[in-house]
Amino acid sequence: MNIVQENPRRSDNGKIANFVTKLWFIVHRKDFSPIVGWREDGVSFVIRDSDRFTEEVLPLYFKGKNFSSFVRQLNMYGFYKVEAKRSEICFANPLFAEGREADLTKIKRKSQKAKNQQEEEHTTTEVEQVDNSSAKEYNNLLRQQLEDLHARRAQQTDLESKIRSSLKQIEDNLHILRREIYVRDQKVKKSPENIDMLFRKDSQDLDMFFRSPLPVSYTHLRAHETPEHLVCRLLLEKKK
């Protein structure tokens, strides 16, 4: 295959870098158009078939078939990737455009310091992206944990409210029970005359009471309770 040596015109300001010259040749070769060439915009070039480019084009202008090395050289001369179709790879440089040979002398290889700075900026950008992503995930985790805490707190508050209500009900019941016990004790402690009056007044109830079977709990006297007290207590409970 003959290599078309279409040297780009040099300006009076200096030479064109060897890599840039070779790249210009490659992009302008019509027989390479199925593999590589200018895009329609004329300000970027496209590698349409990277496998063929590596096997057929690179060996004609460069040592070996190392596509990664070729891409690194592009980066060293200020080229960068642009959006392209899935099967294509596109690169652009503001000074590398169709019909603008005079600008090629302005494309210079980056110094090691500039390269290091670019790599550092690239690394910093990647780190920032990772940090931002990690921070976002961490914030989402904290937000979820906070929502869980609020839900637990609401459940705990509801439970505490129910417990307080139950305790209040128990206290009210205990108060009523203490009052009933006090009233009953006062009735029991009344004079024998009042007890006799109760017997006379409720003789019919007493007779009916003793005719009915007693609950098991009433078949035994309570501690320090006399038989008279037992009768009185049973009458009072019977009436209630």
pLDDT tier, 112 (very low <50, low <70, confident <90, very high otherwise)? low
List, for residues 138-161, the tens digit of each pLDDT value. 888 888 888 888 888 888 888 888
- Higher per-residue confidence, 12 vs 86: 86
pLDDT of residue 239: 56
Read off the pLDDT of residues 30-81 as tens digits, 9 standing for 90 and up: 999 999 999 988 899 999 999 999 999 999 998 888 999 999 999 999 999 9
Instruction: Give the pLDDT confidence score for residue 12 in this predicted structure.
Output: 44
Compare 22 and 201 and report the one with higher pLDDT.
22
Percent of the chain clearing pLDDT 70 (strictly above): 62
> Comparing 182 with 198, which gets the higher pLDDT?
182
With pLDDT > 90 as the criterion, what percentage of the chain qualifies?
26
Residue 5 has what pLDDT? Answer: 43
Rounded-to-integer distance, Cα 41 and Cα 53, Å: 21
At 45 the pLDDT is 94
Residue 2's pLDDT band (cuts 50, 70, 90): very low
Check: CB of residue 30 under 8 Å from CB of residue 2: no
| 90 closest CA partner among 52, 41, 130 | 41
For the chain, the average pLDDT equals 76
Looking at residue 216, its pLDDT comes to 42
Q: Is the pLDDT of residue 26 over 80?
A: yes
Q: What is the pLDDT of residue 3?
A: 38
The better pLDDT of the pair 222, 26 is held by 26
Phi, then psi, of 36 in degrees rounded to 5: -150, 150
> At residue 121, does pLDDT exceed 70?
no
Edge to edge, what strands does the sheet with 80-82 contain? 36-38, 44-47, 89-92, 80-82
Q: How far apart are CA 159 and CA 157, in angstroms?
A: 5
Average of pLDDT values for 10-39?
Answer: 85
The secondary structure of residue 96, as a DSSP letter, is: B
Which pLDDT band, with edges at 50, 70 and 90, does 133 fall under? low
pTM of the model: 0.43
- Higher-confidence residue: 33 or 227? 33
User: Would you say 3 and 21 are in contact if contact means Cβ atoms under 8 Å apart?
Assistant: no
